[in-house]
A and B are shown apart, each in its own frame.
Chain A
Amino acid sequence: MLSDLLNEKTITVISGYGLSWEQAIATASKPLLDNGTIQHGYIESMINVVQREGPYINIGPQIALAHSQPDGNVNRVGMALLKTNDSIALTSQDHMINLWFVLAAIDSTSHLESIKDLTKLLTNSDNVVKLLSANSSEDIFKIIKNVN
């Protein structure tokens, strides 16, 4: 279930004022770093991919899904979410982001159920509106729990 991975421990809400997109990805990932899901190299890897390939992790209006190849830097499947109340430009003003999802995968299959739930959550525009107006990790967790 999505709420097993995305919950009050892995969801962060901050103002985000003055933050760069690199800092946003690092801040979003911090709970996963702290609980041993990922190692620091995974954060660098997610940032490097965007520097190299562009802002393709911008999966919908105001939403990014940062992820990369595990390359030995991921210990188990994990997800995290940072909501920045300010929009932050992901490489350019054409890609303004408020919802920063982080996905840590260990292989090509074990995270797919979570991706399915995440797709269900985000393809419903009502949910996205609710996520964007939520002001605390508790509020966001309630929205995510309702999808399951």
Chain B
Amino acid sequence: MKLAAVCQSGLGTSFMVQMNIQNTLEAEGLNLEDFELSHMDVGSATPDAADYFFIESTLETALSNLPKEKIVLLNSIIDADETKRKLNEILDKNNILHTEEQSKG
């Protein structure tokens, strides 16, 4: 599965989100080799670039070229729990087993 973190410049905040994604995957007992993580600027975020795109919520309109179901909006970049919660929902939706199956149902 390809997970991308996106920000306007692709330099700062997107990498913070990528780190939180990586930390969550590790905490959930998953093999990082099964995932392709990246961070990019909004201009590089084409529909084929990833399966899911994590982005700060005020930048949503910058990704209007992407299918809505591929976009994950984050209210706070540094809230690791929010990233974890939203990533776990994706894992559940894709039937990927992980340690904390909290969002079933």
A residues touching B (Cβ–Cβ < 8 Å)? 49, 53-61, 63, 65, 67-69, 103, 105, 108, 111-112, 115-116, 118-119, 122-123, 128
Contacts and interface: CB of A to CB of B under 8 A. Distances in A.
Contacts, number: 66
B36 interface: no
Interface of B: 7-13, 15-16, 19-20, 56, 58-59, 62, 76-80
16 contacts: A53-B8, A53-B59, A56-B7, A56-B8, A56-B59, A58-B56, A65-B13, A67-B12, A69-B9, A103-B12, A105-B11, A105-B12, A115-B19, A118-B16, A119-B78, A123-B79
A116 B20 CA distance: 10
A89 B8 CA distance: 20
Contacts of B58: 54-56, 58
Contacts of B12: 65, 67, 103, 105, 111, 115
